[in-house]
Structure 1
Amino acid sequence: MSSAHQTSRRRFLQEVAAVGAASLLLPSANRAFGYQSPNERPVFATIGMRNQGWTITSKSFKFADFAALADIDANILGTYVEKVEQGQKKKPDGYADYRKILDRKDIDAVMIATPDHWHTKIAVEAMYAGKDVYCEKPLTLTIDEGKLIEKVVKETGRIFQVGTMQRTECDLRFLQAIALIRDGRIGEVKKVTCGINRIESSPVIPEIPVPEGLDWDTWLGPAAKVPYRALPELRTGYGGGVPLYSNCHYSFRGWYEYSGGKMADWGAHHVDIACWALGATETGPSKVTPVDYKMPVEYKDGYPLVHDQYNVATQFTIQADMPKGVELIITSEGDNGILFEGTEGRFFVNRGKIAGKPIEDLKEKPLPEGAIEAVYGGKVSENHTANFIEGMKARKQPISDVWSHNRMLEICHLSNIAMRVGRPLKWDPVKREIIGDPQANSFLGSEYRKGFEIKMS
C-alpha cells in the first residue's frame, strides 16, 4: 500500500470515528497468518504479470512469499521476475506455461491477472490442482463461466477471492455508504445510478507481425484465432509501453472476444456495491433494457461485421429492473461513482468522496456503534490479500466471493447482450436464463477453441 493511500485511509478512519463509527478498527498485519514465522507464510504464484498482475503481487509481499510467476510474453516475464526478486529479496521461478505452476505442490494459492477470457480456464484448473484462487475482476467473460466456477468452488472446497477491491481498499467510503442504506438514512431506496465512464472508439487497426517474445496463439487461448493487430503509437501512463490501439495488451477491453468493455470492467466495481447495498447479492434483475447506446461498428445477429476496430459499446445507458421496484441505471455519462436515491434523501459516493445531506447529518446523528463492521461481517481486513489469506486459514470464503460477484456481473453481461442484439431482455434470476429469446440465450456461454478447452479434473 502506498504511503499516500495509507495516509488517505487513516484520515478517512478518523473522519468515520468522528461521526460515531469508532468501532471500525483495522487488524494488524499478523492477523491473516502468523507472518512472524516464515514457515507460516503462504506460498503464492501470479499468472499474468502486466499492470494489475504486478499491482496485486506487490501489494501482497507483506503477507505471502511468491515462488513463481507465469506470463506468455517473455519480455514481461523477465522484467517482473526481477521486480519480484527486488521486492521480496528472493527470486521466483518464471514460466511461460501456467500449468507448470499448477503442478507444483509447494504453492498454496494463485493470483490470476490475465485478460478476462483466460480467467475461468486457469481458475478451474487451479482449483482442481488443489490451489486457492485470487482472480482479478471481472471474473468471467460469460454467465455460464460464472456458473461453472461456482460449481467447482463447491466441489473442491477451495477458497476463492475476486479482486473487487472496493470492498476493502477504497478508504471504506463504500462500506459507509452501505451502512447508511441499511440504517434507513435515505428511506426506501428507489433508484441507484452507477456511472462507469466510457471507452473511446478506435481507428482502423491493421494486421502487423507479432512482437518478438509474445506467444500470440497462447494469448488468444480459448478465443478464436485471429491476426495480431496494432498501431505504432504507444500508450502512456498506466498500461504504458504497449500500443495505444491493438487487440492485445491493455486494449483487449475494447473487444467482446476477450472482455466485457467498460460495462464489465468498471461495472464489476460499482454495480457490485449497488447490489450489496440493495441486498441483491443472491438474486438479479427481472428485465434489462438498453435505453440508449452506441456501438462503434455495425452488428448483425449480435456479432460485429467489422473486425479491425474496437467492437464494445462506447456509450450506454442501461436500466435494470431490480427486486422491490428499484431502478438500477448503468451509464457511461456523468461522474464516475454511485448515486443512491431514496424516499427520504440521496447521496453520492466514489473513490474520492462521499457527499450529500445524509453525510452532513452524521455530525448530529452518527451511525450506530459497529454499523460498518456489520456490513463487512467483522473487523475490516487490511487489504484484499489479507482478507483472502484470512479466508484460507479459516477455510471460509472471503468478502468478495464468487456467488455475490457472479450475481452482480450477470447484470453487466446481460447489459452487453442486450446492446449486441438491440432489445430488452427478460431475465429469470432463479433459472439464470433469458426468457423467451433463444438468440440472446446463445450469448450466455461461448465455445472454447480446440486445444484450449478447460481440463475438468
Structure 2
Amino acid sequence: MTNSSRLSRRSFLQVTSAMTAGGVIAGTSNSSFAQDSPNERPVFATIGLRNQGWTITDKSTKFADFAAFADVDSNVLGAINEKLKAKTGKAADGYSDYRKVLERDDIDAVMIATPDHWHTKISVEAMLAGKDVYCEKPLTLTIAEGKLIEKVVKQTGRVFQVGTMQRTENEHRFLKAIALIRAGRIGEIRKVTCGINGATGSPVIPAVDIPEGLDWDAWLGPAPEASYRALPEMRTGYGGGVPLYTNCHYAWRNWYEYSGGQMNDWGAHHVDIATWALGASDTGPNRITPVSYSLPVDYKNGYPTVDDRYNSPTKFEIHANMPGDIPLVITSEGDNGILFEGTKGRFFVNRGRLSGKPVEDLENNPLPEGAVEEVYGGPVSENHTANFIAAMQSREQPISDVWSHNRMLETCHLANIAIRLGRELKWDPAKREIVGDAEANSFLARESRSGFEIDM
C-alpha cells in the first residue's frame, strides 16, 4: 500500500479537527461506531493487558470508551480493571477468553497487546468478526503471517493500525528527521544505521509450577507446547513484578518461540523509520548479510539445541542492501537511535534528541511550512490512537498501515533467519521469498499448535 492509500489530507483534517474541538468524533454515514455509544465515542476492548496493554488503553480513554478486557492471567485482568475504574469511574467486563470479546456487537475496535505469537490469530479473527484493530508491534512472528493479515484487511475492509507510535508521537522528532531528508538537507542518503541495543542471555531456567491465576496453555496458544519456566529473582522497573528470568511475562521477548528478540522489538521501531525515510515502504532489501552476531545457545539447522535458556541474539551487526544499493546497518552497538548519513551531512535521531549540523542549521534555514505534515499525510495527530480513530471515521488506513509495517518487518525477520542459519540471504522483494535457499524459505511460515489454528 502506497502513501496515497492512507488518509487523504482533507478527510484527515476534517476528522482530526472534530476530535480536537470536542474530544469526540462527529457521526458520519460510513461510521462503524456502535449506535448506542455515548456522545458517539467508539467502544473499544483491550486483549492482553500487562505493560503495553495498559499503556495504550490509558492513552486511549480520552477518545474511546472501554467495555471489555481479556487476559489469560486473572491477576492482570483484575489489576488493570481496577486502574480503568479509578481513571474513568467504570470497570470493563473481564474475560479470560478473547473470543467472548469478539462475539459482542457493541465493540467497534480491539486493541491487541498480547505476546507476539498471538497477534495474527486474534487480529484475523477480530477483523472477520467486524472489528477494527489496533495491534502492538512487531505485528507478526513470520512473514507468512504478515501476508495473511494483509489479505484479511483487504477482504474485510477493516481499519488496522500497528502500534509503531514513533510515526506519531515522541514530539514528532522522527517526522522532522524524514522531513529533513526530503528537503535535501543531507543530500543523497549514503548509509543508515539503526542502533537497537543488545540483549543478555540467561542462566538455565528450570521448569516450575505454573503461577496461580495464569492459564499457561492459553498463554502458549499457537506456540509449541512447553513447560512454564522461571527463576525466583523478580524483575524491577518497567514490566516489574514478574520473574526476571522466565519464558513468560515480559521476558518472552527473548525467545524465538514467542517473538524475535531485539531485532523485532526495537527493530520494529527504528527500521520502520529508516525504511520510510528511504522511500522503501513498498519494497525492501534484496540482500541480508549477517556481518557478526552472538547467540546465547547452540543452534543446529536454525533451531536452538536446548529449551531452558533465552535463545535470541545478544549482539549483532546486520547489513541490509536497500534500493539504490544503500546500506541499512542494524546493530546492537552504539546509541539507540538512527544515524542518517548523506553526501552533504549527517544527523542522529532517537526518542530523546534530534542532533547534528543539519538540525542546528534549522535555526537560520527552517524547513518549509507544512513539511512535517507533508510527511505525515495531513495534520499530525495528538497521539497514535487519535490517528486510528480518525481512520475509523474515514474508513481509510491510518499512518501505521499493515503493508508498510510488514515490508519493513520483513527486513527484521530476514535478519533473524540469516542469524539462525549463519549465512547471507538473497531476497526477492517482488515475490517476497528467499532466492535459491529452500531451508531458509522454510522459516517464512510456522505451523500453529493443534487446537489454536486461525479460525477462518
What is the TM-score of this pair, normalised by structure 1?
A: 0.93
Does the 8 Å contact 2:24/2:39 carry over to 1? no
Are positions 1:417 and 2:417 aligned together? yes
Counterpart amino acid of 1:71? D
Match of 1:248 in 2: 248
Secondary structure in 2 matching 1:373: helix
Match of 2:308 in 1: 308
Q: State how far apart, in whole Å, the 1-side matches of 2:413 and 2:127 are.
A: 24
Secondary structure in 2 matching 1:203: coil
Does the 8 Å contact 2:295/2:311 carry over to 1? yes
Q: Superposed, which structure 2 residues align to 1:36-435 within 5 Å?
A: 38-435=38-435
Q: State how far apart, in whole Å, the 1-side matches of 2:434 and 2:391 are.
A: 34
Q: State how far apart, in whole Å, the 2-side matches of 1:331 and 1:155 are.
A: 37
Q: State how far apart, in whole Å, the 2-side matches of 1:184 and 1:249 are.
A: 44
Q: State how far apart, in whole Å, the 1-side matches of 2:64 and 2:382 are.
A: 14
Counterpart amino acid of 1:298? D
- How far did residue 198 of structure 1 move? 1.3
Q: State how far apart, in whole Å, the 1-side matches of 2:134 and 2:419 are.
A: 30
Q: State how far apart, in whole Å, the 1-side matches of 2:136 and 2:21 are.
A: 22
Secondary structure in 2 matching 1:171: helix
Counterpart amino acid of 2:188? E
Give the direction of change, closer, same or farther, for the CA distance of 1:332–1:26 in structure 2 (3 Å limit). Answer: farther
Q: State how far apart, in whole Å, the 1-side matches of 2:408 and 2:255 are.
A: 21
Does the 8 Å contact 1:222/1:452 carry over to 2? yes
Q: State how far apart, in whole Å, the 1-side matches of 2:366 and 2:265 are.
A: 34
- How far did residue 86 of structure 1 move? 1.5
Does the 8 Å contact 2:24/2:41 carry over to 1? no
Does the 8 Å contact 2:23/2:62 carry over to 1? no
Which deviates more from structure 2 when the two are superposed, residues 331-340 or residues 359-368? Answer: 359-368
Does the 8 Å contact 1:109/1:132 carry over to 2? yes
Does the 8 Å contact 1:117/1:222 carry over to 2? yes
Secondary structure in 2 matching 1:119: helix
Q: Deviations over 1:238-278 (max 9, x none)?
A: 10000000000000011000000000000000000001101
Does the 8 Å contact 2:340/2:347 carry over to 1? yes
Does the 8 Å contact 2:19/2:25 carry over to 1? no
Give the direction of change, closer, same or farther, for the CA distance of 1:31–1:433 in structure 2 (3 Å limit). Answer: farther
Match of 1:28 in 2: 20
Counterpart amino acid of 1:74? S
Counterpart amino acid of 2:218? T
Q: Where does the alignment leave 5 or more consecutive residues of structure 1 unmatched?
A: 1-24
- How far did residue 401 of structure 1 move? 0.3
Q: State how far apart, in whole Å, the 1-side matches of 2:211 and 2:261 are.
A: 24
- How far did residue 26 of structure 1 move? 12
- How far did residue 306 of structure 1 move? 1.2
Does the 8 Å contact 1:261/1:312 carry over to 2? yes
Secondary structure in 1 matching 2:330: strand
Match of 1:21 in 2: none
- How far did residue 387 of structure 1 move? 0.3
Does the 8 Å contact 1:27/1:379 carry over to 2? no
Structure 1 moving runs of 4+ over 2 Å: 29-32
What is the TM-score of this pair, normalised by structure 2?
A: 0.93
Counterpart amino acid of 1:263? M
- How far did residue 32 of structure 1 move? 6.2
Q: State how far apart, in whole Å, the 1-side matches of 2:428 and 2:25 are.
A: 41
Secondary structure in 2 matching 1:281: coil
Does the 8 Å contact 2:45/2:68 carry over to 1? yes
Does the 8 Å contact 2:230/2:243 carry over to 1? yes
- How far did residue 307 of structure 1 move? 0.8
Give the direction of change, closer, same or farther, for the CA distance of 1:29–1:142 in structure 2 (3 Å limit). Answer: farther
Q: State how far apart, in whole Å, the 2-side matches of 1:253 and 1:62 are.
A: 30
Secondary structure in 1 matching 2:316: strand
Secondary structure in 1 matching 2:80: helix
Q: State how far apart, in whole Å, the 2-side matches of 1:148 and 1:246 are.
A: 30
Does the 8 Å contact 2:287/2:320 carry over to 1? yes
Q: Deviations over 1:10-44 (max 9, x none)?
A: xxxxxxxxxxxxxxx99726476149x92310000
Q: Percent identity?
A: 72
Q: State how far apart, in whole Å, the 1-side matches of 2:115 and 2:222 are.
A: 11
Q: State how far apart, in whole Å, the 1-side matches of 2:354 and 2:246 are.
A: 36
Counterpart amino acid of 1:200? T
Q: Tell me the C-alpha RMSD between the 2 structures.
A: 1.3
Match of 2:30 in 1: none
Q: State how far apart, in whole Å, the 1-side matches of 2:22 and 2:64 are.
A: 11
Q: Where does the alignment leave 5 or more consecutive residues of structure 2 unmatched?
A: 1-16, 28-36
Counterpart amino acid of 1:115? P
Counterpart amino acid of 1:259? S
